[in-house]
Chains A and B, each alone.
Chain A
Amino acid sequence: EPEVTQTPSHQVTQMGQEVILRCVPISNHLYFYWYRQILGQKVEFLVSFYNNEISEKSEIFDDQFSVERPDGSNFTLKIRSTKLEDSAMYFCASSGPGTEHSPLHFGNGTRLTVT
């Protein structure tokens, strides 16, 4: 069964550094998402991406964050200058061309630790 893949599985970075989290969505999916989950807490929406542009973003997704689909397969999340509070699990997800019935398929996540 096709799956969403995320790399790396764990990233450690120093405060103020830039990080890029990578995702390969399921190939025939059209909608892409980033979520984050601070340890033990709820899964929070960051941004959705459709037709090569951001379709929705949350208050968390400020100017420090950006997303890109550079080559038609990868979908990346960049954090320009990481803060301690950016430490979290970051999930990429994708959903198919259907309507409201399409579930999100999640990758296994990247655990980001900012020191």
Chain B
Amino acid sequence: AQKITQTQPGMFVQEKEAVTLDCTYDTSDPSYGLFWYKQPSSGEMIFLIYQGSYDQQNATEGRYSLNFQKARKSANLVISASQLGDSAMYFCAMREVSGSARQLTFGSGTQLTVLP
């Protein structure tokens, strides 16, 4: 079974509008972390935002916020006031904390295009 599912291969948003990128996850580990990364066309992976499974509040980082619904196992990324430079691939990722593993498991990504 997929641990991270991103069901939107592509999304379009008008400049200055908000957009939500979906991410659902599957884990039986009670302690885990969820991460979002941005990959522009130049290829680098840029860390955006983190949410811990025990965090009571949704994470925010500038124009990025995470809509974390633990019971539904979803961690959707919300980008407010979209800019043309937000056009990129966005990946959701999870780290399961039990044991010594530190690697992240990534979803298949959502290609976001911001329209002028």
Kindly state whether residue B103 has any CB partner on chain A within 8 Å: yes
Kindly state whether residue B64 has any CB partner on chain A within 8 Å: no
Q: Is the pair B101, A48 in contact by a Cβ cutoff of 8 Å?
A: yes
Q: Is the pair A95, B102 in contact by a Cβ cutoff of 8 Å?
A: yes
Q: Is the pair B108, A104 in contact by a Cβ cutoff of 8 Å?
A: no
Given contacts A43-B91, A103-B47, A105-B47, contact A50 B35 (CB under 8 A): no
Q: Which of B32, B43, B97, B103 contacts A48 (CB 8 A)?
A: B103
Q: Which of A43, A50, A101, A106 contacts B33 (CB 8 A)?
A: A101
Q: Is the pair A55, B100 in contact by a Cβ cutoff of 8 Å?
A: yes
Contact with B along A35-56 (1 / 0, CB 8 A): 0000001111100101000011
Please report whether the interface of chain A is mostly helix, strand, loop or mixed according to DSSP.
strand
Q: Is the pair B102, A48 in contact by a Cβ cutoff of 8 Å?
A: yes
Contact with B along A53-94 (1 / 0, CB 8 A): 001100000000000000000000000000000000101010
Q: Is the pair B31, A100 in contact by a Cβ cutoff of 8 Å?
A: yes
Q: Which of A45, A50, A100, A109 contacts B43 (CB 8 A)?
A: A109
A43 vs B93: C-alpha distance when bound (angstroms): 10
Q: Which of A44, A56, A107 contacts B101 (CB 8 A)?
A: A56
Chain A contacts to B: CB under 8 angstroms: 31, 33, 41-45, 48, 50, 55-56, 89, 91, 93, 95, 99-109, 111
What are 21 A-B residue pairs whose CB atoms fall within 8 Å in the complex? A31-B102, A33-B102, A42-B91, A42-B106, A42-B109, A43-B91, A43-B109, A45-B104, A45-B105, A50-B102, A56-B101, A99-B97, A100-B95, A100-B97, A101-B50, A102-B102, A104-B35, A104-B47, A105-B47, A106-B44, A109-B44
